Structure 1
Amino acid sequence: MKIVIAPDSFKESVSASEAARAIRAGFMQVFPEAEYHLLPIADGGEGTIHALAEANNGRMEKISVTGPLGGRVEARLAYSQDGKKGFIEMAEACGLHLVPVKERNPLHTTSYGVGELMLHAIGQGASELIIGVGGSSTNDGGMGMAAALGFQFFDKDGQELKGTGGDLLKVTSISGKNRDRRLESVKITVAADVENPLTGVDGAAYVYGPQKGLPKEKLAEIDAAMRRFYDIAGSCIGRDVKFIPGSGAGGGMGAGLLLFANARLQKGIDLVLDQLNMKEVCQNADFVISGEGRMDGQTIFGKAPAGVAKCAPPHTKVIAICGSVGEGAEILYEHGFDAVFPTLPDLMPMEDLLKQAYKNIERTSRNIAALLRKEGTW
């Protein structure tokens, strides 16, 4: 029996690698003789640099950058074996996990550290950057990142803005005269974890703002401010990126990199799966198991588990294991999944659930394997 295990991370609890090991541990209690292939994945968010570095025999580095709340944080980035490619993960500099739950509000967070990571990688000799833009705490439209690259943003009184989400409400003019010119000779690819446009009811603020702490009463105002900001910026630079699929990823970071760094967008999961040769590994697999912290109707829009499901051949059973199942999850059965299993064992404080994530994943996996064994097919 061949089992391919390719989960994404369970946000704020276990990494993709830990989730994969937990699933294998559960299945091995029932199928110790199976052939297991562990391929931890990412879709542009947490774990992207690890997946890409492993696929390119690369090396990791850790540097100090500006965090989402303005203080210093330690952020990792990676390079290909020859040093020509730099792999950057937005969440390393301004991820949601870096902001205490009680302080989460994207009006106060910035993506400035992402720009610092980009400049550092270029300074180390990277001529190509691949940037994952998922898992952020920000909704600044990439303004903070652009400010780190040398762009300047001003309010109606001519005061320079720092580049937080709240500054979207204040911008009236932009200057690119001090931008870092090295960007013009660097190829930049954005690995986007979603396909959402920048603005509108399917955009960055409405869809992802609430989970980052944006008050519901502010959604319309911030969405309109994002649109005005990109009208101003697009007019200044000569390009409109608001409606490009994926421009809303990372609180508008997709759009920011497109406009301010002349990047190109690619589905993050497609990029990672290609690097990992996922389709080839899934050939002749009996089961393909994926999952992440939460699966719902949004999962099919560029998220990692949906990408994995597409790599499975028709005869293979595809199983999802996730922390919780949300609204609209029934559509997953129309997109390659045969079964979806949540791991939450009981009602308890979120802090306790996160701490027990590995154990919960292992137990659920064991139960799934036992069910398959009982069916008598394996």
Structure 2
Amino acid sequence: MKIVIAPDSFKGSLTSVQAANAICSGIKKVFPQADCTSIPLADGGEGTIDAVLAVFDGEKIYKRVHDPLGRLIDASFGWIEDRKMAIVETAAASGLPLLSREELNPLVATTYGTGELVKYALDYEPEHLIIGIGGSATVDAGIGFFQALGIQFYDGNRNTVEGNGRATKFIKEIDISGLDPRLNSTKITVMSDVTNPLLGETGAIAVFGKQKGVKEEEFPQYERWMANFADVVERSIGRDEKERSGSGAAGGLGFALRSFLQVEMKGGFSLIAELSNLEEKIKEASIVITGEGRIDASSLFGKVPIGIGNMARKYGIPCAAFAGAIEGDLEKLEAEGISLTAPIVDAPMLLEEAITNAESLLEKSAFRFMQALKVGKEIR
């Protein structure tokens, strides 16, 4: 029996790698000889490095860099020697998980540390650099990131502006001549499932500002500051990237990456599917298992289980999806290739208890599912 296991992360409880391992463990308890192929998926945020390294034989390289508040921490990037591929995730040095709720400070939070990680990664002479830009604690529009890589940002008096959320208000001039030239000779793919533009009611501040510490009454001023920065960038590079898909990702880092570099933007699912030859593996499978933290009506709009389900449906392969929570009318999921949707919670419990025990609950769910398959085979 060939089984492809391709889950997303269970946000707040399990990375996609942990989820895939738990599912495989449950399967093996019923079918020890099952041929399990794990393809953990990621959206560019926390866990992106682990997901890519689960597909290829690589390693994590740890470096001393600055966190969102400028404190020195040890953070890692991924390195795959035989492919000359480096993977940097914003969450590692500039992410929300690095700060407590009380520490959130959009005025001073910076992506400088992520830029430092990229600079270290370039020392390995990668041919392909993947930058995952989910889960940042910043709204600095990538100013800190690019300061670490050599771009200079100035105010009206040509004083250097510190790269943080406040900087977008003061920047009047940009000098890109010092940008690390190695970036121009490296293929760069930006991994993000965020398609929002930089500004407006679906932009970086309006949609994601609150989770980074921007108070609702402060939205208009941050929006004005971000618009000022976008105007200065347009004058500096001669084109306008603020309406492009993904420009609002990671507090505007997506906009800066589009503006100052030649990058290809890809969703996490499509990129890892491409790198891992996921479709070919699904084509040869007996069954496919996917999952995520919550499956509801919104899952129909581009979520990982739907992408997996559609791939499985294309080849007539049954697909099951596990979730921490299931809500709403999910009849349409069958049309998207999801044959079975199952919650992992097996008894009434508090959310905190379910999160704490998610790994065990997911393993038991896979075990029960395999038992049901075994009984079905015996009946036939």
Above 0.5 in TM-score? yes
Distance 1:151 1:171, change over 3 A: same
Residues 64, 24 of structure 1: CA spacing in aligned structure 2 closer, same or farther, 3 A cutoff? Answer: same
**Contact 1:8–1:292, Cα closer than 8 Å, also in 2:** yes
- 1:279 aligned residue: 279
Q: CA deviation at 1:125?
A: 2.0
Which range moved further: 274-283 or 213-222? 213-222
Closer/same/farther in 2, CA of residues 205 and 375 from structure 1, 3 Å limit: farther
* Paired position in structure 2 for 1:261: 261
| Structure 1 residues 53 and 328: alpha-carbon distance in aligned structure 2, compared to 1, 3 A threshold | same
CA distance in 2, matches of 1:241, 1:60: 33
Mapped pair 1:359 → 2:360: yes
Cα 1:296–1:82 change in 2 (3 A) is same
Q: Does 256-265 or 205-214 show the bigger shift?
A: 205-214
For residues 266 and 207 of structure 1, the distance between their equivalents in structure 2, rounded to whole angstroms, comes to: 20
**Aligned counterpart, 2:60:** 60
How far does residue 35 in structure 1 lie from its aligned partner after superposition?
Answer: 3.9
Return the letter of the residue paired with 1:58.
G
For residues 243-299 of structure 1, give each alpha carbon's deviation from its aligned partner in whole angstroms, at most 9, with x where no partner exists. Answer: 222222222222221112232212232111111111111114343222233445655
CA 1:296–1:210 in 2, change beyond 3 Å: closer, same or farther? farther
Q: TM-score, normalised by structure 1?
A: 0.85
In the TM superposition, what are the counterparts of 1:90-105 in structure 2 within 5 Å?
Answer: 90-105=90-105
- Note the residue ranges of structure 1 that are not aligned, 5 or more in a row: none
Determine the C-alpha separation between the residues in 2 that align with 1:43 and 1:293. Answer: 13
- Alignment partner of 1:147 is 2:147: yes
Q: CA deviation at 1:56?
A: 4.2
Q: Secondary structure of the equivalent of 2:292? A: coil
How far residue 71 of structure 1 moved from its aligned partner, in angstroms, is 0.8
Q: How has the CA–CA distance of structure 1 residues 324 and 173 changed in structure 2, closer, same or farther, with 3 Å as cutoff?
A: farther
Match of 2:338 in 1: 337
CA contact (8 A) 2:290 2:320 kept: yes
Contact 2:16 2:51 in 1 (8 A): no
Q: Kindly tell me: are residues 56 and 159 of structure 1, through their superposed partners in 2, closer, same or farther at Cα, counting changes over 3 Å? A: same
Aligned amino acid, residue 64 of structure 1:
R
Partner of 2:209: 209
Which AA in structure 1 matches 2:321? A
What SS is found at the alignment partner of 1:162?
coil
Does the CA-based 8 Å contact 1:43-1:272 persist in structure 2?
no
Say if 2:39 and 2:54, in contact at 8 Å, map to a contact too.
no
For residues 257 and 182 of structure 1, what CA distance do their matches in structure 2 show? 15
Q: 1: distance between equivalents of 2:275 and 2:255?
A: 24
Whole-Å separation in 2 of the counterparts to 1:13 and 1:84: 32
Structure 2 stretches lacking a partner, 5+ long: none
* Cα contact 2:40–2:54 (8 A) shared by 1: no
Distance across 2 between alignment mates of 1:197 and 1:331: 29
Task: Output aligned runs, 1:1-378, within 5 Å.
Answer: 1-29=1-29, 34-82=34-82, 84-156=84-156, 158-295=158-295, 299=299, 303-314=303-314, 315-325=316-326, 335-343=336-344, 346=348, 348=350, 350=352, 352-369=353-370
TM-score under structure 2 normalisation? 0.85
How many residue pairs match? The answer is 377
Is the CA contact 1:190–1:268 (under 8 Å) kept in the aligned structure 2? no
CA shift for structure 1 position 112: 0.8
Report the CA distance between 1:333 and its aligned residue.
Answer: 5.7
Give 1 or 2 for the bigger CA radius of gyration.
Answer: 2
Aligned-pair identity (%): 38
After TM superposition, the structure 1 stretch with the greater mean CA deviation from structure 2, 274-283 or 225-234, is: 225-234
Cα distance change on mapping 1:108 and 1:318 into 2, 3 Å: farther
Letter in structure 2 aligned against 1:166: R
Letter in 1 for 2:16: A
Q: Distance in 2 between matches of 1:302 and 1:220?
A: 30
The residue type paired with residue 226 of structure 1 is M
CA gap 1:162/1:349 in 2 versus in 1, 3 angstroms: farther
C-alpha separation between the residues in 2 aligned to 1:227 and 1:327?
38
Equivalent pair of 1:44/1:133 in contact (CA under 8 Å) = yes
Change (3 A) 1:204 1:336: farther
Cα-to-partner distance string for 1:10-34 (whole Å, 9 max, x where unaligned): 2343222211121233344555564
Q: 1:156: how far off?
A: 4.7
Indicate if the aligned counterparts of 1:116 and 1:149 stay in contact, CA closer than 8 A: yes
